[in-house]
Structure 1
């Protein structure tokens, strides 16, 4: 299956839009249902996001790879550029544009579903070294997970694993794990629970780019190539067989 570029861009646009709609929409619903309990709101928001992300990866993955995230697309291009197995350089810009436009569209869609102004810039300030560090950790961990699964031949479990990671990272990172420049930009267009003030966006995006570098560096240290991972796994299997033979 080799979808044409426009189909892949459509998948990235629609998938990112629905992801942001899930993030923003569940935040609005959580605020409505739990107006006096911020912790419960975050729980409701994180569960909805994690489940939606897994479902969207299953839906759009066969078409575009279900990146929904410029740092994932950039890492895919960088890691596969020599072997020619990653995202082609000529398509990278299109993916990023589709993701950003999709994220903005998703925020607008969520606003409209809840009878709010279609686009209203957020006033929710999110800034500070602690939050930026949280974004570095969230982004690096996401990239390491995604490409470790790919390089070790376990990509089939990515929908569940990625959804679980993002759901958990809502809670263990100070920034509540945006981990995505496109989603960060999109969330600036809603003045709701999930929003981020436009002035806070550059700091988050810069931290996510640092997370991109850290995540790729860790991946190359731990999983230098698909071939090396396969050799290591075969070696482990031979050692296991040897151990079983000795105890037989």
Structure 2
């Protein structure tokens, strides 16, 4: 198996499990707490954040973007080539759809049930721009400052928080957005609402990319950062 095939496989599996966490926990939350939307969101956000940490830790040695916007940013930063970017993005979309189908089947709601949950409006689109820009800043700010080993916890924590501080509950991912159109459950989004969310995510990705380039113009090697941190600790001790 070629390296690109392995990377695409990791993106497929990672995105599938991420979407299963989003959709599955949404269904479970709505069944366990049918009369408390706030508690449903708490359960959904905690499950999603925890799953992200676990999946990134497990798959980061192969590939762990799980998000076309992140992959596009990697291409723009010269971290991967065009062919690899296209393969990984394709795997992410397919993995997301597979994850939704599996989650639907686990909870007996039908393999494909198009969502009727309309999500539209300037406030929600702005929420997606903010959520996606912040996600890129967290991902690449952590990686480009030489702390790639901490990105799983940074991303998991950010997404858990962004569920609550953004009006859109932070989809921040085109592959996940498309996948959530085929589940008429707590986590679903109506197919007609998806294009607006995806456009907002791309705009947020562009804004996040600009921030990353401004704040982290060069990549700090992990060894250099470790030495700097050791020196700081010595000074502070």
TM-score normalised according to structure 2 size: 0.93
Who is 1:216 aligned against?
209
Following superposition, the deviation at residue 230 of structure 1 comes to 10
Distance in 2, matches of 1:131 and 1:92, equals 28
Who is 1:197 aligned against?
190
| Deviant stretches of 4+, over 6 Å | 228-241
Distance in 1, matches of 2:176 and 2:26, equals 14
- The Cα offsets for residues 20-69 of structure 1, whole Å up to 9 and x where unpaired, read as 000000000000000000000000000000000100001111111x0000
Who is 2:91 aligned against?
98
Q: 2:142 aligns with which of 138, 149, 152?
A: 149
1:111-190 correspondence to structure 2 within 5 Å: 111-190=104-183
The size of the alignment, in residue pairs, is 236
Larger radius of gyration: 1
TM-score normalised according to structure 1 size: 0.89
- The Cα offsets for residues 64-115 of structure 1, whole Å up to 9 and x where unpaired, read as 1x00000000001101x2xxxx111111111111100110110000000011
Distance in 2, matches of 1:112 and 1:232, equals 46
The RMSD of aligned alpha carbons is: 2.4
- SS of the aligned residue for 2:85 comes to helix
Structure 1: gaps of 5 or more residues: none
Q: 1:74 aligns with which of 72, 80, 98?
A: 72
- SS of the aligned residue for 2:171 comes to coil
Distance in 1, matches of 2:190 and 2:226, equals 46
Distance in 1, matches of 2:134 and 2:68, equals 15
C-alpha change, 1:25 and 1:240, in structure 2 (3 Å) is: closer
